Chain A
Amino acid sequence: MLAMPEPDPHVLARREAIVADLRERAGAGNVIAETLRLKPYETDGFTAYRRVPLAVVLPKTTAQVAACLRYCHDQGIRVVPRAAGTSLSGGALPLEDAVVIGVSRMNRILEVSCEDRLARVEAGVTNLGITKAVEGEGFFYAPDPSSQLACMIAGNVAMNSGGAHCLKYGVTANNLLGVTMVTVEGDVIELGGGHLDTPGYDWLGLIAGSEGQLGIVTEVTVRILRAAEGARAMLVGFAATDVAGAAVADIIASGIIPVALEFMDRPCIHACEAFAHAGYPLDAEALLIIEVEGSEAEQDALLARLKAICARHDPMTVRIARDAEESAAIWKGRKGAFGAVGRISPDYLCMDGTIPPGALPEAMRRIGALARHYGLQVANVFHAGDGNLHPLILFDANDPESFRRAEMLGADILRLCVELGGCLTGEHGVGIEKRDLMTAQFGAADLDQQRRIKRAFDPRWLLNPHKVFPLDTAGAA
Chain B
Amino acid sequence: MAATIAPANEAALAAAVAAAHQAGTPLAVWGNRSKEAFGRPVQAAGSLTTRNLAGITLYSPAELVIAARAGTPLGELEAVLAAKGQHLIAEPPDLSALMGCGEGPPTLGGTVACNLSGPRRIALGAMRDHVLGVRAVNGMGEIIRSGGRVLKNVTGLDLCKLLAGSRGTLAVLTEVTLKVLPRPERSATVMLRGLDAARAIAALSAGLGSPYGVTGAAHLPEAAAARAGLGGRAATLLRIEEFTDFIPYRTLRLAEVLASFGCAEMLDHDASLALWRAVRDAEPLGAAPEEAIWRISVRPSRGPEVAAALVRAFDARLLLDWGGGLVWAAGPASEAAHRAVADAARGAGGTFWLMRADAAFRAALPGMPEEPAPLAALTRRVKAAFDPKGVLNPGRIAAGV
Contacts and interface: CB of A to CB of B under 8 A. Distances in A.
B385 A449 contact: yes
Contacts of A118: 299
Nearest to A358: B63
A199 B397 contact: yes
A173 B129 contact: yes
A110 interface: no
Nearest to A167: B151
A423 B158 contact: no
Contacts of B209: 114-115, 117, 138-139, 226
B290 interface: no
B301 interface: yes
A198 B148 CA distance: 25
Contacts of B83: none
B384 interface: yes
A421 B145 contact: no
B251 interface: no
Contacts of A213: 157
B381 interface: yes
A336 to B, nearest CB: 22
Nearest to B64: A252
B157 A202 contact: no
Contact of B325 (A166, A195, A427): A195
A293 to B, nearest CB: 9
Interface in B366-401: 367-369, 371-372, 374-375, 378-379, 381-382, 384-386, 397-398
Contact of B158 (A199, A206, A254): A206
Given A255-B85, A257-B182, A423-B148, A194 B246 contact: no
A358 B155 CA distance: 20
Contact of A228 (B138, B159, B211, B375): B211
A28 interface: no
A185 B378 CA distance: 12
B162 interface: yes
A448 B115 CA distance: 25
Contacts of A254: 182
Contacts of B208: 117, 226
Contacts of B60: 356, 358
Interface stretch (A368-376, A394-402, A403-411, A439-447): A439-447
Interface stretch (B22-30, B119-127, B230-238): B119-127
B166 interface: yes
Interface residues of A toward B: which range?
Answer: 35 or more
A200 B300 contact: no
A249 B62 CA distance: 5
A304 to B, nearest CB: 11
Interface in B120-145: 121-122, 125-126, 128-129, 138, 142-145
Contacts of A139: 209
Interface centre among A115, A159, A388 (most CB of B within 10 A): A115
Interface in B222-272: 243, 245-246, 249
Interface in A222-281: 226-229, 248-250, 252-257
Interface string A353-377: 0111110000000000000000000
Contact of B350 (A114, A160, A193, A446): A193
B353 A173 contact: no
B126 A354 contact: no
Interface stretch (A51-59, A283-291, A454-462): A454-462
B372 A421 contact: no
Contact of A446 (B146, B249, B297): B146
A449 to B, nearest CB: 5
Contacts of B386: 449, 452
A443 B202 CA distance: 50
A422 B60 CA distance: 14
A430 B155 contact: yes
Contact of B151 (A200, A386, A441, A455): A386
Contacts of A438: 155-156
Contacts of B300: 115-117
B338 to A, nearest CB: 14
A113 B205 CA distance: 11
A357 B65 CA distance: 11
Interface stretch (A75-83, A125-133, A294-302, A322-330): A294-302
A183 B126 CA distance: 27
A307 to B, nearest CB: 16
A206 B378 CA distance: 12
B299 A205 contact: no
B61 interface: yes
Interface residues of B, number: 85
B211 A138 contact: yes
A160 B147 CA distance: 13
B293 to A, nearest CB: 14
A170 interface: yes
Interface centre among A185, A199, A358, A453 (most CB of B within 10 A): A199
Given A200-B397, A386-B150, A428-B154, A449 B144 contact: yes
A159 B210 contact: no
A357 B165 CA distance: 29
A391 interface: no
Nearest to A221: B299
B150 A115 contact: no
B333 interface: no
Contacts of B381: 456-457
A308 interface: no
Nearest to B376: A200
Nearest to B348: A195
A113 B249 CA distance: 27
B120 to A, nearest CB: 12
B146 A298 contact: no
Nearest to A457: B378
A208 B349 CA distance: 22
Interface string A377-388: 000000101111
Contacts of A454: 157
Interface string A144-168: 0000000000000001101000110
B62 A358 contact: yes
Contacts of B170: 201
B193 interface: no
Contacts of A228: 211, 213
Interface string A169-194: 01101100000000101011111011
A194 B353 contact: no
A456 B152 contact: no
B334 interface: no
Contacts of A317: none
A426 B153 contact: yes
Interface in A102-145: 113-118, 138-139
A174 B129 contact: yes
Contacts of A320: none
Contact of B249 (A189, A196, A295): A295
A-B pairs, top 9 by smallest CB distance, nearest first, are: A205-B161, A199-B368, A426-B152, A456-B381, A187-B374, A255-B182, A452-B385, A249-B62, A386-B151
Given A254-B182, A421-B150, A422-B148, 20 more contacts: A115-B300, A117-B209, A139-B209, A173-B129, A193-B351, A194-B299, A196-B126, A199-B165, A200-B398, A201-B382, A208-B161, A227-B211, A252-B61, A301-B243, A358-B62, A425-B153, A426-B150, A427-B152, A455-B385, A456-B382
22 contacts: A171-B154, A193-B299, A194-B298, A195-B351, A197-B126, A199-B165, A199-B351, A200-B368, A202-B165, A203-B378, A209-B154, A249-B62, A358-B63, A387-B150, A387-B152, A425-B153, A426-B154, A449-B144, A453-B159, A453-B382, A454-B157, A456-B382
Interface of A: 113-118, 138-139, 159-160, 162, 166-167, 170-171, 173-174, 183, 185, 187-191, 193-206, 208-210, 213, 226-229, 248-250, 252-257, 294-295, 297-298, 301, 354-358, 383, 385-388, 421-430, 434, 438, 441-443, 445-450, 452-457, 468
